[in-house]
Amino acid sequence: MITLAAVRRALRGHWGVPAVAPDARPAAVALALVEGEHGAEILLIRRAVRAGDPWSGQVALPGGRREPADRDLLATAIRETREETGIDLRRGEPLAVLDDLAPVTPVLPPVVVRPFVFALSRRPALRPNDEVQDGFWVPLDRLAEPGLRREVTVTVRGAERTLPAYVVGGEVIWGMTERILTPFLELVAGSR
């Protein structure tokens, strides 16, 4: 079982590799974790369907682009998570920063995303804003199950693409969220 204690051990001393992308806008997301009945669980959101949002309707991690008032990208992750879900990560325990990454699809905006990992002492109530359709918690053990991550075909801006994804129940987790979760899960599952 992947517990919060196992995540802490796996991430101890881990500091992500920053990306150098001067033409990309910086952004941040939060991997918010809580100890659940079946080990550590992660918060995922389903973005609301909105015109002009390139990630409209997708399963994602809470987060977004850095605003001028944000002191740094950690502040961005905290602000965006609070705005999108009502969760105040300032009450959480920062565990690590993962590697920066950028979209690989050329039609997406030029952003570089920095993922921050937090542990929460309890599962807070979710209060999604208008950017978020809903939120849900998924056990890390469930995501790490063999066969759960597989190739799927999705339609991106009218074109079909086959790519790796996690299929959990009726949810398909792909794109940048899959690219953040996969190395994170490999790191924490390998340390058990």
Model confidence at 131: pLDDT above 80: yes
How high is the mean pLDDT of the chain?
A: 91
Task: Assess contact for 10 and 186: CB atoms under 8 A.
Answer: no
Task: Assess contact for 130 and 27: CB atoms under 8 A.
Answer: no
Residue 115: which H helix or E strand, with range?
strand 111-120
Cα distance between residue 119 and residue 155, in whole Å: 34
**pTM for the whole structure:** 0.93
pLDDT, tens digit, 9 for 90 and up, residues 43-102? 999 998 777 666 667 899 999 999 999 999 999 999 999 999 999 999 999 999 999 998
What is the domain partition of the chain in residue ranges?
A: 4-141
Cα distance between residue 43 and residue 74, in whole Å: 17
Lowest mean pLDDT among 95-99, 164-168, 186-190: 186-190
Lowest mean pLDDT among 30-39, 102-111, 139-148: 102-111
- pLDDT band for position 110 (50/70/90)? confident
Cα distance between residue 108 and residue 113, in whole Å: 13
Q: Which amino acid is at 39?
A: G
Model confidence at 192: pLDDT above 60: no
- Whether domain 4-141 has CATH 3.40.50.720: the reply is no
3-state helix, strand, coil in the chain (%, to 5): 20, 40, 40
